[in-house]
A and B are shown apart, each in its own frame.
Chain A
Amino acid sequence: MDLMLVLQLLLGGLQNGALYALTAAGFALIFGATKVFHVAHGAAFTLAGYVFIYAWNAGWHAAIGVAAALAIAVLFGIGMERFVYRPIQRHEGSFFTVFVAAFGVSIVVQNLVGMVAGRGFASVDSSLSQGVEVLPELFLAPVFWVAIGTAILLFAALTLFLSRTHAGVALRALAQNPDLLRAYGLSSSRLSILAFALGSALVAPPAVLMAMTTGLNEAIGNHVMLLSMAATMVGGIGSLRGAAVAGVLLGVAESLVLLVLDTQWAEAASFLVLFGFILFRPTGLFGVVAAK
């Protein structure tokens, strides 16, 4: 086996894994804090990515594009909470209704994006994604370091936020015991908005970076959704750290699959890992076993 090829694929997998870790953490954050199975998380990713591409193609500075991507992701998350999930939970809120409503939104977004931006591959060309030969036959683009660095930075910030700030601690409390929160007078609905805003914001950097590297298509939302769900479960429901680690694991698995199969089997990798965990370790890597 060609060692350089394995190494190249491994690095590519780590790069993608860093991006998946962020999106998965966003999903896990929302699910943990609000118990909402936010199946439209992938749609936030799609919107952020395409908005960035649009800004780039319009000639605007990259920073504006990133800001725009961030803005649309956060607005989308908050919008979903306010206009879709909250009305539903007011009168019903079963898993079924929440799931179907979110799924419906993701279908609408996917097809709207397809109609407006066209179907098929979309990406931006940036110097960040140009590979530099660091070792014989081993190429690394600056974007690799950007991806890893961004992921690490954001996770550090997130951990600090959740453990040191008032709002962050309240979010963790919301995940553990929503009723107790109400007793202490904290607004669980405001915290829900925070959870959605934060969780959705986490998709913007990965969306931007992916637009710069592997590129997007209008159906990328489904791919991201599957990965986020799988990572949350493989990592263990209730653990943000687990979701992130699992995201990296899935990214690497997806890449290494290419050693034996063609690119269209990429999804199979995530599915197989998820299924493997369902069979052998349903609590996931770091899952908290809930007492019934």
Chain B
Amino acid sequence: MIAYLANLATLASIFGILAVTLNFMVGYAGIFSVAHAVFFGLGAYAGAQVALALVPDALAACAAAALIAGGLSLCLALPALRVRGEYFVAASLGLQMVALTVFSEAKPLTGGLGGLIGIPQPRIFGVSVGALPLSLAALVLILLAIAAMARGSFGRTLQAIRDAESAAEALGKHVAVAKALAVGFACAGAGIAGALFALHMQFVNVESFTLEQSVLVMAMVIVGGTGTLLGPLIGAVLLLSLPAGLAFLPFIPATEVGAVQQIIYGAAMTLLMIFRPAGLVGDLSRGRSAA
């Protein structure tokens, strides 16, 4: 029982990181991506390789993951953000679909369809650490970083760009750089979540980085609400508890549980957008007005 709860808490922290970083991109900067799972995967593979090939140091794994995920995201972001927002969405959908093939084919790096196994337990400077305290610490640090940025000049810049991009540019803000930084930071965070995931599960494979996973993270952000810092975290906890809840319903055959979950995520997203766009926690102030 303890192990079960510890596992759930660890996963909640990891997905919490995914949700709050995606919210940073979508809610603060107004940049929509359906490819967050790709950077989750990049970080997981990077962290796994560091742990397997070099040293199972959690800090090293997270650093490598952040660099690779964040850096590669800039390759996507810098060109795509120069133009309209719809381009970034389309490019991210394409990226998510292509990534699956890339992950499956790059056997030396990702272990192909079989994935990477036998990832050692995490340590910090030689001392063994549990995955739960590690993930929790990472979550708290990332939350603090986002809070600091949101309240400071960078947060203001992003919100200004989100609310009135041309006016922000007319005040001297370099919009493309600000957006790219937001994307880079958010995807680096997703990468860190990936490294933690690899160290916790001690096994990674491509199944965890599909479009369905990106949809799950999106649903967490939407259900929790984009207007607040902690909303996505609540969304993460709620949606992670869903499979356990579904297991109690006898009429769903085991093979269909995944599909039923996805249907619930999709329906939740649509219904919330129609009836309560602010999500369960967020404040009702989203939306354009003639100000």
Contact = CB atoms under 8 A, between A and B. Distances in A.
B215 interface: yes
A220 to B, nearest CB: 12
Nearest to B212: A107
Given A88-B274, A107-B262, A107-B265, A93 B287 contact: yes
Interface stretch (B79-87, B124-132, B171-179): B79-87
A265 B273 contact: no
B93 A222 contact: yes
B14 interface: no
B85 A115 contact: no
B50 interface: no
Interface in B206-261: 211, 215, 218, 222, 226, 256, 259-260
Given A267-B98, A271-B97, A108 B267 contact: yes
A159 to B, nearest CB: 25
Interface in B32-87: 32, 34, 79-80, 82-87
A95 B277 CA distance: 12
A222 B101 contact: no
B94 A278 contact: no
Contact of A230 (B90, B218, B256, B273): B90
B83 A104 contact: no
B274 A101 contact: yes
Contact of A274 (B94, B215, B273): B94
B266 interface: yes
B215 A107 contact: yes
Question: Helix, strand, loop or mixed for chain B's interface?
Answer: helix
A153 interface: no
Interface residues of A, number: 47
A233 B273 CA distance: 26
A101 B93 CA distance: 16
A115 B254 CA distance: 12
Given A84-B274, A94-B286, A100-B273, A105 B93 contact: no
Interface in A231-285: 233, 237, 264-265, 267-268, 270-271, 274-275, 278-279, 282
A95 B274 CA distance: 13
Contacts of B89: 37, 99, 229
Contacts of A84: 270, 274
Choose among A96, A114, A226, A265 the residue with the greatest number of B CB atoms under 10 Å from its CB.
A96
B91 interface: yes
Nearest to A267: B97
Nearest to A268: B98
A140 B87 CA distance: 36
A101 B273 CA distance: 6
B101 A94 contact: no
24 contacts: A37-B89, A87-B274, A94-B286, A97-B277, A97-B286, A98-B273, A100-B273, A101-B269, A102-B270, A111-B262, A111-B266, A115-B259, A222-B93, A226-B97, A229-B90, A230-B90, A230-B94, A233-B90, A265-B101, A267-B101, A268-B98, A275-B80, A275-B91, A278-B83
9 tightest A-B CB contacts, nearest first: A107-B266, A104-B269, A104-B270, A271-B94, A101-B273, A108-B266, A229-B90, A104-B266, A111-B259
